[in-house]
A and B are shown apart, each in its own frame.
Chain A
Amino acid sequence: MIQINELHKSYRMGSNELHVLKGINLDIKEGEFVSIMGSSGSGKSTLLNIIGMLDVAERGEYILDNVPIENLSEKKAAIYRNKFLGFIFQSFNLINYKNAAENVALPLYYQGISRKIRKEKSLYYLEKVGLADWAHHLPSELSGGQKQRVAIARALASEPKVLLADEPTGALDTKTSYEVMDFLQGINDEGKTILVVTHEPDIADMTKRIVQLKDGVIEKDTFVEQVRASEHV
């Protein structure tokens, strides 16, 4: 599903050049549940942003679902993001003046899907994350865990190939974190490819493969025995 070869990225900080990714090679198959771990500054978020087409690599190859991602115009990137990827952020990133259902429907709006179907789908995915009753509430009326569940529903609504989660549990307490992970595991069980960036080992243990990043290179890449989140809830 995702193939990355010799990926490099550096940032220019004034006169200094900060080499963040120093040749990453990664191959993720369909249906995998991968966590990318590393201390801050290891380049894990940069890698996720490049995979998410929110940022561009300097050098190297990135193939997503057999489509080489290169020379992206902003418009093309937008179309690919919309078609291939669903995002889950640490700070939820819901639009605060839109209610839960409207937030979930937003990626569908940019797909050009008709109102009626948008409404149906957004309700369907809200129900999937157990928030059907909260469809008409604004994000400010929801708890952190509920917000993240709305974000997950939004990420799922566009039926992406890959879910990208950047510290999805970073802003949540342990109990809610496990609930969110439980949802992600359920989605993965249905066959969705999921990529999670985290620095919490217990969260990483709930995925199926842990990629350890250190100073811009992959230090360790291991398949692990998945810990079911439901055992901890």
Chain B
Amino acid sequence: MRFIFTRDTWQEIFGTIRKNKLRTAITIIGVFWGILLFVGLQGAAKGMENGFDYTFKDLATNSIFLWGQQTGIPYAGYNRNRTIRLELNDTYRIANQVEGVQFVVPRNAKGIFDGAAPLVVNKLKSGNYKVFGDYPIIDNVSKKKLRKGRFLNHKDISSNRKICVIGERIEKELFEKDDNPIGQYIKISNIYFQIVGVYKENNTDFFEGDDSIFIPFTTFKKVFNTGNRIGWMVIAGYPDEDIVAIEEKTKELLKRRYSVHPNDERAFGAANFGEMFGKITGFVKGLKFTALIVGIATILAGVIAIGNILLITVKERTKEIGIRRALGAKPGEIRGQIILESVFLTLVAGILGMTVGGLSLSVLNNFAKSWDDFPFMNPTVSLQYIGFAIAIMVILGTLIGLIPAQRAVSIRPIEALREE
């Protein structure tokens, strides 16, 4: 093995490579391309993953939206088509009794699922906008981006304050350009509310858009006379909990409470974001895995191409090898030289491919910055993968080099010299 590290060995290899530039270039292209694809695909998949992570970073991804509907099966003396209205107490029950639940947020709204959007008036301007009755904790489900002022707080809830947070479109539509809405009063369903904040639309909201008004849950209850009823609730599970199981358990609990037939699938509606998010995560994982497989396969193809070309080269160099052997080259030295050539070419091609791959990823990243809707960010390839790719290249380069090397030493020097 010592001969790997002697200068002479490398001088022989460099000599051979330098004198056969075209051949070397062609040999390298296969592996270069393989590694380029490997790095490119890995980076792109990672970029997608980062993009999704960024998109969902303000969202409690492991969550369910749940609401009452109409029963589908008659049960316990009730007819079918009985309307189920969830109540505030249900949220406490679920939070306390269902395992794995982090928090439960009740919500009420006008102008989205039921009821017309209330009229909102500021001096001479008016419009119809959705109004949500919320607890401050809704911020943990979908982070609100405040442009001005603040969001709802606990004090607002406990003292039923008549304050509101409005969307930036409402600000634009109801206020003059230089008019700061914070501290001003607007009329919602004929009741004055003081504006405490203006929010900006974020990319993961569900219903709010940029034209909604948030008021304290308790205030909503009084203004719209909803009593203990709630529109729907958001149930957030702890990050690692199985959100599908939480949904099942919650529905069981609610079915018992509202005397709904255990097999009634219609009574409660739910949108499971955790499940959807899981599918996206799974998709990204699949993408990364595919990229890995395709990348390795391409590297493999490249290395085989090197082996193939070296095999042709060995045939071309039969005479040279014969001369070397007549001059006293041991079979091991010939074999070692060809394997080293193979590994060296593979590595050079690989490092070149990695460099170009990295550069193209950074170019891609610059482009991606201008695509707002496309989830793509910071495409990178971890050092682990790079190390893995290099290891694969060295191993495959050696293995594939063995074939031409064996062929080279199996030629008897006398036969090699006879070849003209």
Q: Which residues of A contact B (CB under 8 A)?
A: 49, 52, 54-55, 74-75, 78-79, 81-83, 87, 89, 91, 93-95, 97-98, 102, 106-107, 109-111, 115, 154, 158
Contact between chains at B320 and A158 (CB < 8 Å)? no
Could you say which residues of chain B place their CB within 8 Å of the CB of A91? 420
B280 at the interface (CB under 8 A from A): no
Query: B313-331 vs A: 1/0 string, CB under 8 Å?
Result: 0000001101111111111
Pick the 8 closest A-B CB pairs, nearest first.
Answer: A82-B328, A97-B19, A54-B414, A110-B328, A107-B327, A78-B330, A74-B331, A93-B323
A97 to B24: give the CA distance in the assembly, Å.
Answer: 15
Closest Cβ of chain A to B1, distance in Å, is 15
Given contacts A74-B409, A89-B417, A97-B20, contact A111 B323 (CB under 8 A): no
In the complex, identify which listed stretch (B7-15, B112-120, B133-141) lies at the interface while the others stay far away. B7-15
Closest Cβ of chain B to A120, distance in Å, is 15
Which residues of chain B from 301 to 355 have any CB-CB distance to chain A below 8 Å in the complex?
319-320, 322-333
Closest Cβ of chain A to B6, distance in Å, is 9
Closest Cβ of chain B to A152, distance in Å, is 13
Could you say which residues of chain B place their CB within 8 Å of the CB of A49? 414
Contact between chains at B324 and A110 (CB < 8 Å)? yes
A29 to B412: give the CA distance in the assembly, Å.
Answer: 29
Could you say which residues of chain A place their CB within 8 Å of the CB of B295? none
Contact between chains at B331 and A75 (CB < 8 Å)? yes
Q: Which of A75, A97, A154 contacts B327 (CB 8 A)?
A: A154
Nearest B residue to A86 by beta-carbon distance?
B327
B181 at the interface (CB under 8 A from A): no
B16 at the interface (CB under 8 A from A): yes
Which residues of chain B from 1 to 37 have any CB-CB distance to chain A below 8 Å in the complex?
7-8, 12, 15-16, 19-20
Could you say which residues of chain A place their CB within 8 Å of the CB of B326? 52, 54, 81, 87, 93
A78 to B331: give the CA distance in the assembly, Å.
Answer: 8
Could you say which residues of chain A place their CB within 8 Å of the CB of B322? 93
A107 to B328: give the CA distance in the assembly, Å.
Answer: 6
A89 to B414: give the CA distance in the assembly, Å.
Answer: 12
Could you say which residues of chain A place their CB within 8 Å of the CB of B16? 97
Nearest A residue to B420 by beta-carbon distance?
A91
Closest Cβ of chain A to B317, distance in Å, is 9
| Number of A-B contacts defined by CB within 8 Å | 66
Closest Cβ of chain B to A11, distance in Å, is 11
Given contacts A95-B320, A97-B16, contact A115 B7 (CB under 8 A): yes
Q: Which residues of B contact A (CB under 8 A)?
A: 7-8, 12, 15-16, 19-20, 319-320, 322-333, 409, 412-414, 417, 420
Given contacts A91-B420, A97-B15, contact A110 B333 (CB under 8 A): yes
Nearest A residue to B323 by beta-carbon distance?
A93
Given contacts A74-B409, A93-B319, A98-B15, contact A79 B330 (CB under 8 A): yes
Closest Cβ of chain A to B297, distance in Å, is 35
Contact between chains at B414 and A81 (CB < 8 Å)? no
Could you say which residues of chain A place their CB within 8 Å of the CB of B333? 110
Given contacts A49-B414, A115-B7, contact A110 B329 (CB under 8 A): yes
Contact between chains at A54 and B15 (CB < 8 Å)? no
A215 to B331: give the CA distance in the assembly, Å.
Answer: 34
Can you identify 5 A-B contacts, CB atoms within 8 angstroms? A49-B414, A54-B412, A74-B409, A81-B328, A109-B8
Contact between chains at B15 and A79 (CB < 8 Å)? no
Could you say which residues of chain A place their CB within 8 Å of the CB of B327? 81-82, 87, 106-107, 110, 154, 158
A102 to B327: give the CA distance in the assembly, Å.
Answer: 13
Nearest B residue to A107 by beta-carbon distance?
B327
A94 to B417: give the CA distance in the assembly, Å.
Answer: 11
A78 to B330: give the CA distance in the assembly, Å.
Answer: 5
Contact between chains at A158 and B328 (CB < 8 Å)? yes
Nearest B residue to A113 by beta-carbon distance?
B8
